[in-house]
Amino acid sequence: MNPVRAAGRTVRMRLGLTLLVAACLVVGAPRAASSPSGTPTEAQNLLVRLINMERTARGAPPLVLDADLCEAARRHAEDMIASGYFGHRSPTLGTLASRLGRLGIPFRKAGENLAGHTSVAGAHKMLMDSGVHRGNILDPEFNRLGVAVVTGGPYGAMIVEVFLCGQAGSPLLAGTGR
C-alpha cells in the first residue's frame, strides 16, 4: 500500500475557515483555471512559483509541475464544487491514493493540500501558516507537483495541490525555472 499523507482531513481547517466561508459565492458550474491547450494557467504558474520559492529558501529542491497530477488535482477540485463538500476523501472518487490509481499514476509517497479562497496568494499563505500543510509543501522527498485552481464553490475558488514522490508523469516545465 502506498503511504498517503493528507493534511487537514476534514473541514476542521484551523486556517480561518470562518473567513473563507464569508468569501463570495460563485453560482454556476465550476470553471477550471486552465487553458484549452492544457498548458498551465497564470494561477497555476503563480502557485508553483510560490511553492518553489518556499522550498528553495529552506534548502529543498524545487518541484516539477506534472500534467497528470494537475489533472488529478483538477478533477478533485471540480468534484468538491459539484458535490458540495470540502475534504480529502471524495464520496464519489475516494481517497488520494484511489484517485491517483484510477489515473494510472504510480507513486511511493503522495500528499495533498486543499484550500478554498478568493486568491492564490491568500490560499498559499493559509497553507504555509498550517504546520501539516506546510510540511507537504516543504517535504524534500516530494519531487513532482500538480495544482488546480478552479473557480466556483462557496470560497470563490477551490485550490488543490498534489505532491508526489515517485516516477515521472508528463512534466510541464512552467514554474520550474527551466
Residues sharing a CB contact under 8 Å with residue 60, sequence separation 6 or more, in sequence order: 138, 139, 140
Burial 44-57 (b: 16+ CB within 10 A, else e): bbbbbbbbbebbee
Select the more confidently predicted residue: 156 or 23: 156
pLDDT for 178 equals: 24
Predicted TM-score (pTM) of the model is: 0.76
Model confidence pLDDT, tens digit, residues 90-108: 999 999 999 999 999 999 9
pLDDT-based confidence at residue 78 (cuts at 50, 70, 90) = very high
The average confidence (pLDDT) of the chain is: 79
Closest CA to 77 of 124, 38, 29, 125: 29
Answer yes or no: is pLDDT of 19 > 90. Answer: no
Q: Which has more pLDDT, 129 or 21?
A: 129
Q: What's the mean pLDDT in 139-165?
A: 96
Residue 150: pLDDT band (50, 70, 90) is very high
In which band, very low, low, confident or very high, does the pLDDT at 2 lie, cut at 50, 70 and 90?
very low
